[in-house]
Structure 1
Amino acid sequence: MRTKNNFYFFVLVVTALVFCSFSNKKTKVLIIGDSISIGYTPFVKENLSSKAIVKHNPWNAQHTGTGLKKVKEWIGNEDWDIIQFNWGLWDLCYRHPDAKVYGNRDKVNGNVTFSLEEYEKNLEDIIRSIKQVSDAQLIFVTTSYVPKYEAGRFKKDAQKFNKVAKRVMKKYDIKVNDIYKKSKVIHKEFGKGDDDVHYSKEGYKKLAKILSEFLSEEIRKINTKQL
């Protein structure tokens, strides 16, 4: 009887240790994106500090052309649980070499970085590249709000590019965190102006809350599966 009881006690201890090891394991999250994501990532890190290790790709992911060249390097050999990515603001930007505005932005005389068709193809190629090197759950974040007087971007293009991106994500069964409408509301109060796509510190905190809540739910699902 004592041997049997000892066996049950051993099983309970092992089960408890396994449970604790899973519950204490932090989810690894890689955020790939532009300057907007660079702005909110520190607050996402803070919000998820108890449950996830959150990192951002080095510097700015720019447009999908840069993504095609760099995404495998950014992923590296790390065993990521979640890779959250976004491209769009740079893709839909018009630039002209003679423009005096920062970044040579010029939606009057310039050329768009990538057309909708090119953007779609690039996203598909990026997704295939990611899947070649990682089994992480993928989450796409839509392009944020573009104000009317932005020098190199047309306000209406954000939704056009988002529509294409969502179609691609549906094709590859990738979850989408559509932040466009919420980012528009946040930008009205906490944006840096009607000619700037960026946000104040408070604006980035509010965006981070949206991103953190979405990621937190996905982390919960991952941890539940592991148990």
Structure 2
Amino acid sequence: MIKSITFAAVFLFSSVILSTEEKPKILIIGDSISIGYTPFVQEKFGESAIVVHNPGNAQHTGTGLDKIDEWIGEEDWDIIQFNWGLWDLCYRHPDSKEYGNRDKINGTLTYSLEEYQANLDALVTKIQKLSDAKLIFVSTTYVPENEAGRFKKDPKKYNQVAKKVMKEHGVLINDLYNPSISIHKSNGLGDNDVHYTPEGYEQLAEIIYEFLDKEIR
């Protein structure tokens, strides 16, 4: 009887470990937009996958190049989803009183299109050396007209460059830009802010979740 109980306990413990190990592991790397929708993505996956966001804000591609090794670490990720762009195309000036010193009139652009392309190319090359995970790039989201440090037209330009890099490296693309326009207009924080209400982030999360869920199967 004791042997049977012991065997059952060992089997149950082993099953728990196995089930935990078998859960797909997804790393999301990105800016504050991704920070906003990640909790909803985690909620939608529930117990079926482990979804983790990089610590803090991934900011621009320069930050990515500095920290990508740390973010990926030694974990055996199944999917690494990443995005950069909103910070790269932002203009800042040290004297600006806007949050983050944003100033598209007098400020300096963080990274030009050419620099953004080169940085993305270096990042994808590095990620592919660090991990065997399936890679997914999420395009830059909508910028409203009166945003203090960003021009409305720039996401399309930066997304075009990003798509070129991703296609060259065989990286999947989840194009969030077009859906983000209507989501922002109904559930954004206004025509001077790139961020969203909780309802907006949940809508973005649905798109992210559906794409990830399809690719994780």
**1:26 CA drift (Å):** 1.2
Q: Residue type matched to 1:65 in 2? A: G
Matched, 1:189 2:171: no
CA distance in 1, matches of 2:168, 2:19: 32
Residue 129 of structure 2: aligned partner? 132
Q: Residue type matched to 1:100 in 2? A: K
Alignment of 1:33-112 (within 5 A): 33-112=30-109
Residue 142 of structure 1: aligned partner? 139
CA distance in 1, matches of 2:171, 2:23: 22
Residue 163 of structure 2: aligned partner? 166
SS at match of 2:161: helix
Return the match for 1:25 from 12, 16, 22: 22
Matched, 1:215 2:212: yes
Residue 4 of structure 1: aligned partner? none
Aligned identity (percent) is 65
Q: Residue type matched to 2:165 in 1? A: V
Q: Deviations over 1:54-80 (max 9, x none)?
A: 000000000000000001110000000
- Name structure 2 gaps, 5 residues minimum: 1-17
SS at match of 1:99: coil
CA distance in 1, matches of 2:76, 2:21: 17
Q: Deviations over 1:118-158 (max 9, x none)?
A: 00000010111111211100000000000000000000000
SS at match of 1:165: helix
CA RMSD of aligned residues (A): 1.6
**1:96 CA drift (Å):** 0.5
CA distance in 1, matches of 2:194, 2:49: 28
CA distance in 2, matches of 1:22, 1:61: 31
Given the two structures, how large is their TM-score scaled by the length of structure 2? 0.90
**1:206 CA drift (Å):** 0.3
Q: Residue type matched to 2:122 in 1? A: D
Q: Deviations over 1:166-185 (max 9, x none)?
A: 00000001000001010000
Q: Residue type matched to 2:127 in 1? A: I
CA distance in 2, matches of 1:57, 1:147: 26
CA distance in 1, matches of 2:198, 2:140: 19
Count of residue pairs the alignment pairs up = 202
- Name structure 1 gaps, 5 residues minimum: 1-20, 221-227
Residue 8 of structure 2: aligned partner? none
CA distance in 2, matches of 1:120, 1:52: 32
Given the two structures, how large is their TM-score scaled by the length of structure 1? 0.86
